[in-house]
Amino acid sequence: MNQLATPAFLQGTKKLLIGGRWVDPASGQSIEAINPATGELLCRFAQGNAQDVDRAVASARQAFEGPWSHFTPHDRRKLLLRVHDGIMDNFEELALIETLDMGAPLARTRGYKEWLSQLLQFYASQTGAAGSVATAPMSIAPGFMALKHQMPVGVVGGIIPWNGPLMGLWWIYGPALATGCTAVLKPAEDASLSALRVSELMMEVGVPEGVINVVTGYGKDVGQALAEHMGVDRIAFTGSVGTAQAIVRASAGNLKRLQLELGGKSPDIVLADADLDKAVPGASMGVFTNSGQVCVAGTRILVQRPIHDEFVERMKAFAKTIQVGNGLTPGVQMGPLISQRQLERVMHYVDVGAQEAQLASGGQRLGGNLAQGFFLEPTIFANVRNDMTIAREEIFGPVASVIPFDTVEEALKIANDTQYGLAGGVWTQSLSHAHKVSQGIRSGTVWVNCYGVIDPAVGFGGTKMSGYGWKGGKEHVESFLYPKASYFNLN
């Protein structure tokens, strides 16, 4: 386990990236990066504040108006492909930093590689979206012509969570580079290191100074300052509903464009005709993957009553096969939660669940040689009702609520009885049921006989309290652009 060398990058105190240079934060203070598998200090990183945000936004603005604005779509595509190669060449180190910093097993963080390759190539293919087209002469008068342009919105503030920054940051950097925007990234205080290393590699392959900037620090300081800043044109946020509401309010000053991807309490519906050999592991990993710290997690597993008990038994057996441990250990499938605070929050929900439903499996913090880390067993509650707290609130831990239902209509009613609308799933061998349920779930994304698959070229998003704005696909690129028309009198 300890044969993997700690990356040299993790030495010393990490600085802020502003205007192409690594600079000290105005506060002179730093934050500890803790390895959640061991509770040990990995390194320290800069505690930015509003002054640093000012500097970063000014550098992003200068870059937006400077030579970067003369990059052609072809130049931006070449740059994105160089970024792709730089990231791929250093991926083993990036996966290791991510595992050490946020706990996900190496098997998972290494597994991002191919997906990230596809994602970067997708954004490289989209650089022509920021362009112009001439329209045919119109009805105003002879000799008039119009040009329709798609213009980059400007400086984008990216505020991301800790549950997978190595992937999540690309929903900002990818479309920003594709469209000619510039970015100020604020990683989460619990997992900032991979974002810093990725940004360093991007500078090394030639991303012009100021095009990407990183200000680490706390949400109330850096995040709030970005959301309020009059020089930021758009915010891309992933995180909790309460923070999103604060961002909506803070963004009012200059009417920023917003993209908000928030939490969920996604229903994963297992019909009696499902192939349980696929549905049991599929629905289980739909919750337990990344220790349940996934916004699209299918945490409400709705199971048709005739198979409820069998499903729970098989899920319990499956959960016992999941190897939980330090993500550096070969074979480990589930790592720790991100922090002591998050562990306590999730344990609170386990206690609440044990009062209101039937704890079928798990629920214990792991001890022994894992006692210093923030580990929780995969946890299953059975015979849950949808009005119970554990079925209503997002837990963000490896906790599944199995809810019995009788008819497909009832399943849809339960599925949609939530404030959220991010994702959902259905397991069935009937084509008509698959269609009916996938149409009937009110969410931005639905999976049929699979869970969590995301194609960068298609994307995903939410509705209701899960937010708005699409990540991935053409819509995402277009949301970094605004339309503009120029009318010409050629007479």
Query: Which of 156, 178, 247, 360 forms a contact with ligand ADP (CB under 6 A)?
Result: 247
Q: Is 240 in the site for ligand ADP (CB under 6 A)?
A: yes
Q: How far is the CB of 223 from ligand ADP (least distance, A)?
A: 2
Tokens (6 digits) for 265: 């309490």
Using CB atoms within 10 Å of the CB of residue 490, give its burial: 0 to 12 exposed, 13 to 18 middle, 19+ buried. Answer: exposed
Would you say 158 or 444 has its CB closer to ligand ADP?
158
Would you say 325 or 397 has its CB closer to ligand ADP?
397
**Distance separating alpha carbons of residues 204 and 103, to the nearest angstrom:** 27
Tokens 């989209």 -> residue? 126
Count of C-beta atoms within a 10 Å radius of residue 206:
11
Widest Cα–Cα separation across the chain: 84
Would you say 120 or 258 has its CB closer to ligand ADP?
258
Strands 182-186 vs 155-159: parallel, antiparallel or unpaired: parallel
Query: Which of 18, 169, 212, 227 forms a contact with ligand ADP (CB under 6 A)?
Result: 227
Would you say 232 or 402 has its CB closer to ligand ADP?
232
**Distance separating alpha carbons of residues 454 and 126, to the nearest angstrom:** 18
Would you say 397 or 425 has its CB closer to ligand ADP?
397
**Distance separating alpha carbons of residues 144 and 397, to the nearest angstrom:** 60
- Indicate the DSSP class of residue 164: -
Q: How far is the CB of 296 from ligand ADP (least distance, A)?
A: 14
Q: How far is the CB of 23 from ligand ADP (least distance, A)?
A: 20
Would you say 243 or 266 has its CB closer to ligand ADP?
243
Q: Is 220 in the site for ligand ADP (CB under 6 A)?
A: yes
Would you say 181 or 247 has its CB closer to ligand ADP?
247
Q: Is 332 in the site for ligand ADP (CB under 6 A)?
A: no
Q: Is 165 in the site for ligand ADP (CB under 6 A)?
A: no
CA dihedral 196, 197, 200, 205 (to 10 degrees): -140
Q: Which sequence positions are flagged as catalytic?
A: 261, 295
* Cβ 24 vs Cβ 46: under 8 Å: yes
Would you say 195 or 437 has its CB closer to ligand ADP?
195
- Indicate the DSSP class of residue 455: -
Q: How far is the CB of 31 from ligand ADP (least distance, A)?
A: 11
Q: How far is the CB of 195 from ligand ADP (least distance, A)?
A: 10
**How many residues touch ligand ADP (CB under 6 A)?**
16
For ligand ADP, what does the binding mask look like between residues 173 and 212, x meaning CB under 6 A?
-------------x-xx-----------------------
Strands 182-186 vs 212-214: parallel, antiparallel or unpaired: parallel
Query: Which of 48, 86, 223, 472 forms a contact with ligand ADP (CB under 6 A)?
Result: 223
* Cβ 236 vs Cβ 157: under 8 Å: yes
* Cβ 124 vs Cβ 80: under 8 Å: yes
Radius of gyration of the chain (CA): 23
Query: Which of 164, 210, 219, 336 forms a contact with ligand ADP (CB under 6 A)?
Result: 219
Q: Is 246 in the site for ligand ADP (CB under 6 A)?
A: yes
Q: Is 148 in the site for ligand ADP (CB under 6 A)?
A: no
* Cβ 237 vs Cβ 243: under 8 Å: yes
Q: Going along 229-388, which residue ranges are E strands? A: 234-238, 257-261, 267-270, 300-304, 358-361, 379-382
Q: How far is the CB of 355 from ligand ADP (least distance, A)?
A: 24
Tokens 């309010």 -> residue? 249
Query: Which of 103, 180, 239, 398 forms a contact with ligand ADP (CB under 6 A)?
Result: 239
Q: Is 228 in the site for ligand ADP (CB under 6 A)?
A: no
Q: How far is the CB of 455 from ligand ADP (least distance, A)?
A: 25
Would you say 95 or 102 has its CB closer to ligand ADP?
102
Tokens (6 digits) for 488: 């010409």
Count of C-beta atoms within a 10 Å radius of residue 427:
30
Burial 445-474 (b: 16+ CB within 10 A, else e): bbbbeebbebebeebbbbebbbbebbbbbe
Tell me the three state secondary structure of residue 481: strand
Q: How far is the CB of 227 from ligand ADP (least distance, A)?
A: 5
Q: Is 362 in the site for ligand ADP (CB under 6 A)?
A: no
**Distance separating alpha carbons of residues 215 and 19, to the nearest angstrom:** 11
Q: Is 48 in the site for ligand ADP (CB under 6 A)?
A: no
For ligand ADP, what does the binding mask look like between residues 88 and 117, x meaning CB under 6 A?
------------------------------
Q: How far is the CB of 33 from ligand ADP (least distance, A)?
A: 14
Tell me the three state secondary structure of residue 420: strand
Q: How far is the CB of 346 from ligand ADP (least distance, A)?
A: 12
Query: Which of 36, 103, 105, 161 forms a contact with ligand ADP (CB under 6 A)?
Result: 161
* Cβ 463 vs Cβ 421: under 8 Å: yes
Query: Which of 159, 274, 391, 395 forms a contact with ligand ADP (CB under 6 A)?
Result: 159
Residues that bind ligand ADP (CB under 6 A): 159-161, 186, 188-189, 219-220, 223-224, 227, 239-240, 243, 246-247
